[in-house]
Chain A
Amino acid sequence: MEVLNRNVMRELIGDDNQLMKKFELEFLKQARESMRKITGLYNNNQVVLIKEEAHFLKTSAKAVGAELTADILQQLELIAQENNKAQCKDAIVQLNVALKQVYGAVRS
């Protein structure tokens, strides 16, 4: 499982580096907004509602090839559905780390 597997997007939209870069940057922007929502929901004890935001971001994470991020989001979806706050926190922290890694990969 890779932090950013560019083959995924290449196989989806074709070998257009400029377009791929645009989608990667757009994903980071979207992820930043989703993280704000997710942490807000966590801090407000609305853990169950995190599921929908995690699902939303998972779609684009998979599409841009952010495999590790997508996997954590999948776990977060399940944990949130079970209203497990402690595990939810762990997953959000992991998600934060994974997204920073994607950021690093996109900027490199």
Chain B
Amino acid sequence: MKLATREPKVVLVYENVEDISGASQIIASLGEEYRAIAFDNTTSDFVIRIKPAVLLFALSSVDKVIKFYTQLIEEKQLSHPHYTILLCNNRDSNAAFHCCVKGVFDDYFVYQPLYEKLRLIMIVQHGLLLCGVKNVTTEFSTDVVEPIDDSREQLIAVARACKRQYLSGQTPMNNPSNGDLSPLPNLDPARQNSASPIDDETAANEILPEFSDFAGDDDLDLPITPHEISDEMKGGKRILVVEDNPIYRDMLVGVLKRAKYEVDEARDGLVALSKVTDNEYDLILMDLFMPKLDGLNTTKQLRGISKRKDTPIVALTGNTNKELIRKWASYGLKGYLIKPSNNNEILACVSRIVKQKDPSPA
């Protein structure tokens, strides 16, 4: 918690410290540089000097806040871009509403009584984003914000990916900081670094990674350049390869490019959805098990995008679980390729489906 900092991005001007203790704690949980300052004859100068992005006012009446803010603008020439939030008690909410509707303040929040703490976080965060503050957090302590389950997290991630594609440039929150959204939460714990200490129980059974003797071998740093075969293939059929393993993905891309297809690639279902909303493909080759969004759910989401609901999809699978494949197929698969199929099998399958979609020569 950063309650006192020299140049806070968020400043709360208060009159009675007891009134703001709850609200102050919530705002501090945002992790932004934050400071609460008492209202006195030095407050104006402090605000002018610090230039906070978000200014919250918690004075004894709405009228008092209006007068103070007007004075800040008129006499002290408050002119830097900022976002104002009027904190009020329940009784004054009508007056606060009128102030905001008329554009005096940007938003208001009833903090007495303090019920909707998450709403307060939302308003402050919104203000920070609109003011172009970088790296505004979207991760909160579980003490403040209760976590949600994985399936809902995934649903939200998909919606966000779709919104970014469909409504880019149309949202009122479209500004540099918001355009660069923070990384999606890692839904795949196996991909997380797990270098924590070995506990007593497992110490006896510890497996030493003897394989580390590869470390420092210069040859191993040779990068794969997956597009070295490209450039000549333009105007052919477009194929999207969705596969989380970069080695196999690069191999498939190479096979298809050598056969003169135009090929695009995605490392997981979310990236694939983004690409599919922007581009039309003649075929999608898709893996089943991927981090963030698996093949089955990506297919399901994709079928919900009206202009892409007929795009042919071929499953890439090493999985022999017929029930799972059957379930996946129910969302509309044109076929499946066992990983790793050989060059001829892949091209035969691709060619057949591309021709079915469009009988003109590929």
Contacts and interface: CB of A to CB of B under 8 A. Distances in A.
Contacts of B304: none
Contacts of B305: none
B4 interface: no
A96 B212 CA distance: 10
B194 A37 contact: yes
B222 interface: yes
Interface stretch (B24-32, B116-124, B241-249): B241-249
A12 B198 contact: no
A12 B220 contact: no
A63 B194 contact: no
Contact of B222 (A22, A41, A89): A22
A60 B245 CA distance: 7
- Which of B199, B202, B221, B248 has the most chain A CB atoms closer than 10 A to its own CB? B248
B254 interface: yes
B342 interface: yes
Given A26-B247, A52-B188, A43 B211 contact: no
A59 interface: yes
Interface string B327-344: 000000000000111111
Interface in A38-89: 39-46, 49-53, 55-56, 58-60, 62-64, 85, 89
A35 B211 contact: yes
Interface in B213-253: 214-215, 219-224, 243-248, 250-251
A50 B194 CA distance: 11
A99 B211 contact: yes
A62 B316 CA distance: 13
A93 B243 CA distance: 28
Interface of B: 188-191, 193-196, 198-199, 201-202, 205-212, 214-215, 219-224, 243-248, 250-251, 254-255, 258, 287, 289, 318, 339-344, 346
